[in-house]
Structure 1
Amino acid sequence: MNMNKRLVAALVGAVAAPLIVVAGPAAIASAHGYVNSPASRQAQCAAGTVSCGDIKYEPQSVEGPKGLRSCNGGVARFAELNDNSKGWRAAPVGKSVTFNWTFTARHRTTNYEYYVGNTKVGDFSGNNQVPPATVKHTVNLGNRSGHVTVLAIWNIADTSNAFYSCIDLQVG
C-alpha cells in the first residue's frame, strides 16, 4: 500500500509541476515602465551615461507603493537614483517639456503625475485603460528656470503600486 501512495504522489507531482511552471510567471507578471525622453535617471544608467548599479539592467523596474515622492520608489537597491550629486545630465528644455514613457509590460492606468518638489505640475488621466507601448505628455513648468528635477509617476489602476522616474532638466 505504501508503494501505491508513493506512485500516486509521484504522478501528481509530475502532472502538477509543468502547470505550476506555466501558470507561475503569469501570476507574478507586473507592469513596468519609465520615462526614456528626456532621459530619466534610470534611462541614463541603462545607457551608461552615468555609472550605476543594478538599475542599469532594469530601468523599467522602479516600482513602489503609491504616494511616494522619491526617485527610487522606495526600492533600497535603487537608492542611487535619489543621489543628486551623482552627475545626472540635465536635458535643456523650454518652459514646456514632453515626457515620453516606454512600457515593457502594461497595466490599466489610473493616472500619470508630475512633480517639481512638492508641487504637482501635471496630472493626466489613464482612463483606467491599458496604455499603448509609449505615451507622451506635455507639461508646462511655469516660471521655473535653471536646474529642475521632475518626478514622474505612473499610477497603476489594478495594484497598490506606482512606477517612478526622476528627470533632470535645465530650463532655459
Structure 2
Amino acid sequence: MKKSTRRFTAVAAGIGIAPLVAVVPATSAYAHGYVSAPKSRQAQCAAGIVDCGPIKWEPQSVEGPKGLRSCSGGNARFAELDDDGKPWQAAAVGRRTTFTWTFTARHRTLNYEYYVGGRRVAVIDGRGQQPPATVSHTVDLGGVTGRQKVLAVWNIADTANAFYACIDVNVR
C-alpha cells in the first residue's frame, strides 16, 4: 500500500471515530447520585437484575426539576423506571429502614425527601453542604406494611434540579 493511501486511510478512520470520542465523555457529565441500598430500580437495572434501557449504564443520572413524584424524574430516557409492571425485586425491610445514596458528582444539598404512597415520611436537611461519597439515612416508613414503593429525592441546593430514585420494599 502506498504511503499516501495509508495516510488517507488513517485520516479517514480518525475522522470517523472522532464524533464517537467527542460524544462518549459527555454522558459522564450527567453522573450524580442514586440510592444503592436497598437497591433502587436504577441500581437493579445496573446490576442486570431487571432488563432496562440506557439507565443500566448510568444509574446516577435520574435528574429532573424539583417537585416531581416520578421514579424517572420526568426523564423520558428513563421512563421504564416508572413501570410498576416490571419485575422489580422488593427488599425485605423493617418499618425503620436505612437508605444509602452513592454519589458520583457531589452537589451542595438542600435536602433529601422520602415518600411512601405519595405521602412524605421524612425530610433530612442537607445544610447546603457537599455530601461525602455515600450518605445513609434511617427513615421511619410511617407504619405501612407489605409491598411499598419508596420515592427518594435528593434536592440540590444551587440548581432547580433534584435526583430521583424509587426503591421497592416489603415492609415487615
Stretches of structure 2 that go unaligned for 5 or more consecutive residues are: 1-21
Aligned residue for 2:90? 90
Aligned residue for 1:163? 163
The amino acid that maps onto 2:165 is S
Range that drifts further, 126-135 or 139-148 = 139-148
The amino acid that maps onto 1:81 is L
For the structure 1 residues 31 and 56, does the alpha-carbon distance in structure 2 shift closer, same or farther, using more than 3 Å as the test? Answer: closer
Aligned residue for 2:104? 104
Aligned residue for 1:9? none
Distance 2:58 2:137 in 1: 23
Deviations 1:121-163 (A, max 9, x none): 1100000000000000000112211000000000000110000
Aligned residue for 2:141? 141
Q: Secondary structure at the match of 1:79?
A: helix
Q: Is the 8 A contact 2:30 2:61 kept in 1?
A: no
Q: TM-score, normalised by structure 1?
A: 0.82
Aligned residue for 2:125? 125
* Aligned-pair Cα RMSD in Å: 1.6
Distance 2:104 2:37 in 1: 15
Cα deviation for residue 39 of structure 1 reads 0.1
Aligned residue for 1:40? 40
Stretches of structure 1 that go unaligned for 5 or more consecutive residues are: 1-20
Report the identity percentage: 67
Distance 2:102 2:148 in 1: 22
Q: Secondary structure at the match of 2:46?
A: helix
Q: TM-score, normalised by structure 2?
A: 0.82
